Amino acid sequence: MAKKTTIGRLRELAIKRINMQFLKPKPKIKKLHFLDGRRKKLLRKIAESTDIKNVQLSRKEKILFHDEIKQKGGLIKWAKSQSQYRKILNKANPSRYKDSINKGVPPKKDSTRSLPKTIKRDIDLFMKESKIDKIWKNFCKEELIAPNTALRLGSKRIQAKGYINVKTFPVLPTKQLSTEIIFEAWGAGNKEIARNLINQDSSLSFQELLIKIIMLMDMDDSIPHPYLWWIYPNQNKKMRLIYQDADGDNFVKIDNKWQMAYSLKAVGALAGRQGGSNVEDLNLPTNSYFVVWENEDNAKNHSN
């Protein structure tokens, strides 16, 4: 009997040793959806503020949202953009934005293809369903013969500051570009508005400046149009050599004096026409330039 007991014990010890050598894998525990819940709360809190800096997190929230806050280029980056453009998203489609916040995930690409990631760099997409397009269409109906005239957006690369705060001389060194057609122009009355906008943000491109002025048109009845310059194209064509200075601004020489040279394509709808059927009836070569004189009389005198 004792012999059997000893053999039984040895067998049990052997089994235990085998089990110690080949540990059974731990059972997989289903992950609870705490992360999704935390993300929902964080997104809602951020979405309620128009400025990410105003979002105040409690000590408990900072602990719970630690991973999200440290995450680079992920949830927090997207949440900041949602907070920054909350008003735009709500106006475009309130239900779509609300659904994306409630689900706690960024909206799908196909649901945001017509909305901007940044208003500074994606103006083309922003134009499709924005208030800017409506303002421009209303202006065309009231002022132009063709109500469906497309908005000439201008350049989103060339900064406007050098052409608003005009320099008397180019910054050396200069380089020659090409010989182009030059027209005469004068101020259209929105110069101070443009100067104030440039003083607020000196990095504005021609396109961004145009968008801001069009937005102001809807808010202020004293701004009837977006034009900064009137072009007088009823003249003999003049060919001039275009120079570019160290700041990237363009110049021409007229009567042995330097003049800023404005690209018609770059300025877009910041320049309109005088002496035609309507202000958008430019009918000019897209690669042409114009120079701005002190007033209409001087511009027309130089056009001969």
- Candidate from 44-58, 85-99, 169-183 with smallest mean pLDDT: 85-99
Among 63-77, 111-125, 204-218, whose mean pLDDT is lowest?
Answer: 111-125
**CA-to-CA separations, 274 to 119, 184, 296, in angstroms, rounded:** 31, 11, 10
- Determine the pLDDT at residue 251: 96
Q: Which of 253 and 23 is assigned the larger pLDDT? A: 253
Question: For residue 282, is pLDDT > 50?
Answer: yes
Look at 8-12, 168-172, 173-177, 222-226 and tell me which has the smallest mean pLDDT.
8-12
pLDDT at 266: 96
pLDDT for 4 beyond 60: no
Exposure of 90 in the CB half-sphere (CA atoms within 13 A): 8
- Determine the straight-line distance between the first and last CA of the chain, rounded to whole angstroms: 130
Per residue in 75-87, pLDDT tens? 455 455 544 444 4
pLDDT of residue 64: 64
Q: E strands within the chain?
A: 175-187, 229-232, 238-244, 250-254, 257-260, 262-263, 271-273, 289-293
The residue among 148, 81, 143 whose CA lies nearest residue 116 is: 81
Give the pLDDT confidence of 109-166 residue by residue, as tens digits.
443 344 344 444 445 555 544 688 889 999 998 888 788 899 999 999 999 999 999 9
**pLDDT at position 10:** 72
CB 259 within 8 A of CB 193: no
- Quote the pLDDT of residue 72: 46
Q: Please tell me the distance from the alpha carbon of residue 57 to that of residue 42, in angstroms, as a whole number.
A: 9
Q: Which residues lie closer than 8 Å to 103 by C-beta, 6 or more apart? A: 40
Grouping H, G, I as helix, E, B as strand and the rest as coil, residue 159 is strand
State yes or no: pLDDT of 219 exceeds 70: yes
210 pLDDT higher than 80: yes
Report the SS3 class of residue 175.
strand
Predicted local distance difference test score (pLDDT) of residue 114: 44
**pTM of the predicted structure, to 2 decimals:** 0.59
Q: How many CA atoms lie within 13 A of 70 on its CB side?
A: 6
Q: Please give the Cα distance from 271 to 262 (Å, whole number).
A: 10
> What value does the mean pLDDT take over residues 54-62?
64
- pLDDT, residue 277, reads 79
pLDDT band (50, 70, 90) for residue 23: low
pLDDT for residue 49: 57
Give the pLDDT band (50/70/90) at residue 88: very low
The residue with tokens 């309109």 is 272
266 phi, psi to nearest 5 deg = -70, -40
pLDDT at position 292 over 90:
yes
- Residue 260: its pLDDT value, please? 95
Query: Given this model, what pLDDT does residue 176 score?
Result: 95
User: Which carries the bigger pLDDT value, residue 157 or residue 12?
Assistant: 157
Mean pLDDT of 272-292: 88
Q: How high is the pLDDT of residue 151? A: 92
CA-wise closest residue to 230 among 291, 167, 146: 291
Tokens of 9: 């014990």
- Tell me the HSE value of 179 on the side-chain side, using a 13 A CA sphere: 4
